[in-house]
Amino acid sequence: MRDDPVPDLGAPAGSFWSLLTPAGREALRAMGRRTDIPPGGMLCHQGVTPAGVHVVFRGRATGNVVAKEFVLSSEGDESIIELFGGGDLVGGLAPWGHPQRGSVQALDHLVALRIDRRQFGGLLAASPQVAEAMMCAFASAAELAGRRAAVASAEHPQRLAYHLLELAHRFGERSGDQVRVPMRLSQAELANWSGISRETLVRCFRRWRARGVLDRAVRPLTVLDTGGLRRAASPWGEEWPDGSADAAPPAPRAGLAARAPVPIDTPAAPLRRLPADKPFFTGRAVSLGKLDMVLAQAARPRGVVIQGMPGVGKTTLALHWAHRTADRFPDGVVFTDLRGDARGPGPATPAEAMGQVLRGLGVPGDQLPRAEDELAAQCRSLLAGRRMLLILDNAADAAQIRPLVAAVDAGLVLVTSRWRLPALPEGADVRTLELREMAPGEAVDLLAAVLGPGDRRVRDERDAAVRLAQECGLLPLALAVMAGRLADDPGASIAGTVRELAGRPTSGSPVLHGVLSLAFDVAYRALRRDQRAAFRRLGLIAGPDFTPSALAALAGLPGEEARECLDGLRQAYLVQGVGPGRYRMHDLLREFARERCLAEDLDSERLAAQRRLLAGYLAEARAAGAELGGRRRPTLEGRPPEQAAPPAAGARAAAVAWFEAERRNLVAAVHQAARLGLHRTCWELADALFDFQEFRRYGDDNVAVHLAGLRAARAEEDWSAAAVMLHALAVLHVHLGRPLQAIGYGEDARRGFRSVRPPDRYGEAVTLATLADVHVALNRYPTAIEQAHRSLELHRGLGDAGGVARGHETLARVHLALADYPPAERHARQALDLRRDTGDQPGIAESLLTLAQVQRRRGAVAQAARYGLEALAIRQELADRYGTARALTELARMHALLGMRDLAQRDAEQALRTYRMIGARHGEARTLTTLGRLMSDAARFAEAFTYCEQALGLHRDTGDRHGEAETLAEIGIAHWRLGRYREARERLGRALEIRREIGDQHGEAHDLEHLSMVMRRLERHQEAFVLGLEALDLWHRLGAKAGMAGTLGSLARTYLRLGLHAEAERAAGQALAIRQEIGDWYGRGIGLDTYAAVLRRSGRPAEALRLELQALRLLRDVGDRHGEGTALVHLADIHLDLDDAEAALRTGQRALDLAAELGDTREQAIARHVMGRACQRLGRHAPAAAQFLAEIDVRRDMGDHHGQRAALERLRESCLADGDHDAAADCARRVHALDRWLGSENSEPDEADSGPVSATEVPAGR
């Protein structure tokens, strides 16, 4: 606040100030106080009754719009509802207790005359003229608001033009025919006030500037043609005066003459009793901004307390801000050290503190009262009404500062303290600013500032500077010390300094250690004896945070006493609260605590404390683990785990939350136990952590703790525990996509369980089941079946229902991979029944998902979706994020088959977000591949390539060769569908090489089959035939019947291209027989469609018609709407062969409608092609041309050049038939251009194979 005189320049006509008489203005000046408010300062807050009303003036503002009023929605979106200029009244309804409708914020430097709302209400009652002026101002504002509400229904350009006219009328400055509107309103804010988007505003501005309505200069906004703007706003623009008329000269800007200061006995110059500012101060922009906001508030608080740990820079910040804002306190600045660090004579008493302040104010020492009450009275007398800044540094408690805070009523008290201070005077508005470590960027800037601009080391060694800042704990005190040392030694490198700090057992260099120890020791010595002991014990904790129970175990205290000690340490800023009941200690403070513990406590006391801590962690981890209900696995006791009742949902959720909060501490505890030689505790903690970390997929940490547990077990020669650790490592490597390492660990575990005495049969059985899972992942199906059966028999012998269920589950997955669906379903149902009997909820979800996969493969997609949804519900109820993502990925495939592609995409995207949230990069990469497949199926090839390229990068980063090959194959299929056969061959060839390198025969057969199709499209039928036979041989060796059926169907098409119709019919018949044998109803529909195509190409359309109708019914029954659409197109082709063009046209229309409903652009193009041919047969060449033109547009958008070429040839025929030779010539020219582009004049696929691939040509194994 200031009282500097400002000439009264009046106010714009119509403003509240301009409507007042001179007497009314003088009355407001007399009862009001001037406040300088910077840009961004708040005058009023939404929903809060203002303490006073404000009349705003331009002051030093460069714009005529000085403030905005806005409201916030429930989502936090800002909507501007009013703008204010010089002389306007803000908060006029406050005298009647009405809350402010919106927050009012300064847009520019403004001056406000603030009048207490009660005084303003009294003035209104006493002065009818002031009340009339206020009512006129309200009426004018209401009229403007009503006009804006009416124009809200207008088109966006009209709305914007109207608001610009209002700006020009209210805030503009006329110069000739131009109107300038100086303001600091951004484009986004102007668009917000106008009720349009910023993009719309930019487009309108561009158009009006081009037409000469607005000046091209961005600032100030200048209207060159007011009439043009009125026309753009028509009819609402008629409400504003005609810009062509002579306008009255602009009103001078408002100003305010402040009242004279209260005469007091002060020196001519303001007091400035401040220590020097740090010349290298930098950073702390957020904290400085918060302090600035205190001054910008209309009703500023009485004081601010800056709190924080030692060395964090509290005093430095306070002094820098005081120097920066000293001119805002015309009555002076006084600094007082309250000696809260307990050095020398100890903390200052309240009387000493008041005496220091009074001396700073110029009171001679011999005139100071002796009694504390009299000192307080004199402080109140001398500080009353004085706008001065009082800095009370290093306060030890609230009692020191309470009398001084109570005495300041017009200035500000700035307090620094390394303690959390309790409440100050009741009713006093005192804010708290908690200072934490510097941000890394600010810390590096501080290093550069100390070294100076001429020192290039920070610029040249940026990464090393960041590491140095981290080594210094981001504390300004430590940073300044190390930067000063570097400044003294210009030849030293920052990297060398970092290596020196990192290599020392204590906190860095001797200089840094001495400075920090001194600062920390002051706080440490100020603690009670029990608090010092607790502080030392906390230095023994290896994890990042801790709870009162951890301190209770370390110090051997009751829980209540531990909480009380932690609260004392928190008050001293030696620990920080990071959540309810959780605390952390700064790394440098932790080192100091550890040093004190080493110096003051016995070795036996330290070891006993750490034993108690680790034992407490182990007991809590086991108790929480019992509520998780994790997978059944080998136990450290060497016997099968007891069948426990399913945990209650609430208890399980609490256990998950506890593990999530303590996980990093438990991981650190495992390694701490290993360092201390507490081997049994080490492996027991690792085992207690397994279920949760597997559940949440913390794979790398889980591997690390079990490797530590394995080393501990081997050191103790406890081979039973070693086998448990080895089995856990096998399971974890399966999850991490490392099957070969998993087999090594699994075989070692199996030998370990067999070698202990007595042999651990349960452990061996579980390990065999794990090995079977690994061999399934490696497509080694015979080995997987053998080990699954051995595991099953062992579990049966032990009477372990859970193990038997898992054996059935593994066998179900093996038979599913082999496309042997009846036994796969049988085993999955047996597993599900057993798991339902035992209440194994995670197992139930797993079996349901396997059943869903079996049903999907068999074509019962609706039933599969029901199983998948039930599995998803269980996973979500269990808060199993990884399992939820797996279920969502499977549901995405099912929904895609059911034609619900939008839902499929949402499922996959939700799974992707979950995988990314939990850091499961393997799952993320597989889901990206699934999304690429979904986009490719929907003919959205640009998105398909984007997803697949992202997946490819992730697979390569994680070393997942199997996933890399799968994604390359998917990219190849997308190229194939686009008719880019050479690119498809290249990608599929690379995928095939990887499959052969890793021994993935299942994937190898898939890639060979796709390559066969690509070669067929390239008219290289012999190569296509050989590749198809290779794929068929692989499927046969694997025993994968579904794969054999798919490849036989593809071979049938190749036989057709070779002219071997009998062989084609035989291959198609064999494929169909296999589909029927394995109960694959979905595949049977595809097989019938292929058989119909063979019969049609063999010149037997009547038989083809019968089979195609059967295929159509089957595909419709299983819910494959995309396959149904493709079958309709093929049926239309058959009608054409039967010379029934009308039936072909009707069927093609059905296919087109279905494709349009599904959003399948590829099938729409094919359907239009068939309909165009049918129209040609009927002699309707104009409709035929329309169909071909629409097809060409679709294929152009898809990038399908081959399909465009075939459609252009057909379009050319219709144009010639209609006598349009120019259009026919244009078609020929475009065909020739496409041929040059494709480089394939001699390689033209015939019409039956041109265009994108049909859904029924894609192998069912995808």
pLDDT in tens, 1037-1063: 877 777 788 899 889 889 888 888 889
Length of the chain: 1262
Among 413, 434, 455, identify where a domain stops. 434
Does residue 361 sit in the same domain as residue 456? no
Structure tokens at 366: 């011999």
What is each CA distance from 471 to 495, 504, 872, in whole angstroms?
Answer: 12, 11, 46
Structure tokens at 238: 């008629």
CATH number at residue 966: 1.25.40.10
Q: Say which residues have a Cβ less than 8 Å from residue 596's Cβ, sequence separation at least 6.
A: 524, 532, 535, 536, 539
Distance CA 865, CA 904 (A): 11
Distance CA 595, CA 946 (A): 54
CB 831 within 8 A of CB 792: no
Please state at what angle helix 981-998 crosses helix 1001-1017, rounded to 10 degrees.
160
Distance CA 504, CA 499 (A): 9
Distance CA 1139, CA 1170 (A): 13
Structure tokens at 1083: 């595949």
Does residue 854 sit in the same domain as residue 957? no
Does residue 230 sit in the same domain as residue 374? no
- pLDDT value at residue 1208: 92
Distance CA 1253, CA 1009 (A): 14
Distance CA 733, CA 738 (A): 5
Does residue 348 sit in the same domain as residue 446? no
Distance CA 965, CA 597 (A): 56
- pLDDT value at residue 871: 93
Rounded to the nearest 10 degrees, how much is the dihedral formed by the CA atoms of 962, 963, 969, 970?
Answer: 160
Distance CA 1109, CA 1115 (A): 10
- pLDDT value at residue 677: 93
Query: Residue 878 belongs to what domain range?
Result: 682-919
Q: Say which residues have a Cβ less than 8 Å from residue 608's Cβ, sequence separation at least 6.
A: none
Distance CA 285, CA 292 (A): 10
1091-1102 pLDDT, tens digit per residue, is 888 888 888 899
Among 194, 215, 239, identify where a domain stops. 239
The amino acid that residue 1200 corresponds to is: D
Structure tokens at 508: 């860095």
Closest CA to 934 of 973, 964, 965, 960: 973
Closest CA to 772 of 763, 753, 785, 754: 785
Task: Say how many domains are in the chain.
Answer: 6
CATH number at residue 206: 1.10.10.10
DSSP state of 212: T
For residue 295, being part of any structural domain is answered with: yes
For residue 244, being part of any structural domain is answered with: no
Distance CA 552, CA 565 (A): 10
For residue 1205, being part of any structural domain is answered with: no
Distance CA 1216, CA 1213 (A): 5
Q: What is the DSSP string of 33-67?
A: EEEEE-TT-EEE-TTS--SEEEEEE-TT-SSSEEE
Residues of the chain with pLDDT below 70 are 1-10, 61, 74-76, 235-236, 238-239, 241-270, 341-345, 423-427, 503-515, 629-630, 643-649, 819, 858-859, 899, 1080-1082, 1118-1120, 1238-1262
- pLDDT value at residue 232: 83
Does residue 912 sit in the same domain as residue 928? no
Distance CA 779, CA 794 (A): 24
- pLDDT value at residue 256: 41
Does residue 784 sit in the same domain as residue 855? yes
Does residue 724 sit in the same domain as residue 861? yes
The amino acid that residue 609 corresponds to is: A
Alpha helices in 1058-1100 (DSSP H): 1061-1077, 1081-1097
For residue 627, being part of any structural domain is answered with: no
SS3 for 557-625 is CCHHHHHHHHHHHHHCCCCEEEECCEEECCHHHHHHHHHHHHHHCCHHHHHHHHHHHHHHHHHHHHHHH
Report how far Cα 340 is from the mean position of its chain's Cα atoms: 44
Which residue in this structure is represented by tokens 């068929």?
Answer: 1032
Q: Say which residues have a Cβ less than 8 Å from residue 1106's Cβ, sequence separation at least 6.
A: none
CB 703 within 8 A of CB 736: yes
Does residue 793 sit in the same domain as residue 753? yes
For residue 188, being part of any structural domain is answered with: yes
- pLDDT value at residue 726: 95
SS3 527: coil
Which residue in this structure is represented by tokens 């910023």?
Answer: 198
Q: Provide the β-strand partners of residue 115.
A: 53
For residue 647, being part of any structural domain is answered with: no
For residue 40, being part of any structural domain is answered with: yes
Closest CA to 387 of 473, 276, 261: 261
Does residue 396 sit in the same domain as residue 289? yes
Element housing 336 (H / E) = strand 333-337
CATH number at residue 111: 2.60.120.10
Q: What is the DSSP string of 343-380?
A: -TT-SPPHHHHHHHHHHHTT--GGGS-SSHHHHHHHHH
What is each CA distance from 252 to 18, 58, 64, 172, 1131, in whole angstroms?
Answer: 11, 11, 11, 12, 84
Among 380, 402, 434, identify where a domain stops. 434
CB 1118 within 8 A of CB 1081: yes
Does residue 912 sit in the same domain as residue 783? yes
Closest CA to 226 of 287, 165, 173: 165
Does residue 927 sit in the same domain as residue 915? no
For residue 162, being part of any structural domain is answered with: yes
- pLDDT value at residue 630: 66
Query: Apex CA 488: angle with CA 482 and CA 490, to 5°?
Result: 100
CA neighbours within 13 Å on the CB side: how many for 1154? Answer: 22
Does residue 310 sit in the same domain as residue 334? yes
Distance CA 63, CA 173 (A): 11
What strand order describes the sheet that includes 178-181?
A: 173-175, 178-181, 221-223
Burial class (CB in 10 A: 0-12, 13-18, 19+), 7: exposed
The amino acid that residue 804 corresponds to is: V
Closest CA to 892 of 877, 912, 919: 912
- pLDDT value at residue 252: 42
Compute the radius of gyration of the chain from its Cα atoms: 41
Query: Apex CA 1258: angle with CA 1252 and CA 1262, to 5°?
Result: 130
Distance CA 232, CA 237 (A): 8
